[in-house]
Amino acid sequence: MLLLVGLGNPGEKYKRHRHNVGFMAVDAIADAHGFAPSRKKFQGDLREGEIGGLKAIALKPATYMNDSGQSVGAAMRFYKLTPADVIVFHDELDLAAGKVKAKLGGGNAGHNGLRSIDEHIGNEFRRVRIGIGHPGDKTRVTGHVLGEFAKSDYDWLDRLLAAMAKAASFLADGDARFATAVARELAPQKEKRAVKPVAGETP
């Protein structure tokens, strides 16, 4: 079983914030794979389903970002999972907007949601880092992270979320394969080489 955790803050006020891209990612995956409707459990919104024949749980903690670990820890213990079964989708300030990287373990780089999860289950969980870009000035970081995506951002954001949903079946096979599959979906299609007609055939 996989526990897919999206990080964000609950409520309409925060829905379109860059900090909530983790929520957006697990919603896109759950929708694309026909997960059951959301229900309240483990201090969060939970949906159950399957990805590539493997049972999966999509969880969006409703504890607010800083206490995400409470919800994640409760779900992990209930389903008797290990940290390696937990995949956390979160915004990454130091990754170019629209880029995705996945890995097992690591630090929290000042991300309060990751820090809270570290405190409750340790840091050996899997994480999918979703780039939101850096504003270029430290004084603008908070406003950038807690600001809404610009209208122009949705050109790449919608494509990214769709690519992540399509590639989700690779999560059971490993993080590297998932990230590669997402990148492949987002790569511009190469123009097909013109095929010369055989003599006597109509081109």
Residues marked active site are found at: 19
Q: Where are the beta strands (DSSP E) in 73-183?
A: 86-92, 100-104, 126-131
Compute the distance between CA of residue 166 and CA of residue 16 in angstroms, rounded to an integer. 22
Backbone angles phi, psi at 23, to 5 degrees: -60, -45
Residue closest to 100 by CA, chosen among 60, 132, 76, 124: 132
Beta-bridge partner residues of 49: 56
Residue 19's alpha-carbon distances to 65, 69, 85, 132, 134, in angstroms, are: 9, 16, 23, 9, 12
The pair of three-digit structure tokens given for residue 53, joined into one six-digit string = 């024949």
Q: CA angle 108-112-118, nearest 5°? A: 55
Residue closest to 41 by CA, chosen among 23, 58, 65: 58
Count, residues in the chain: 203
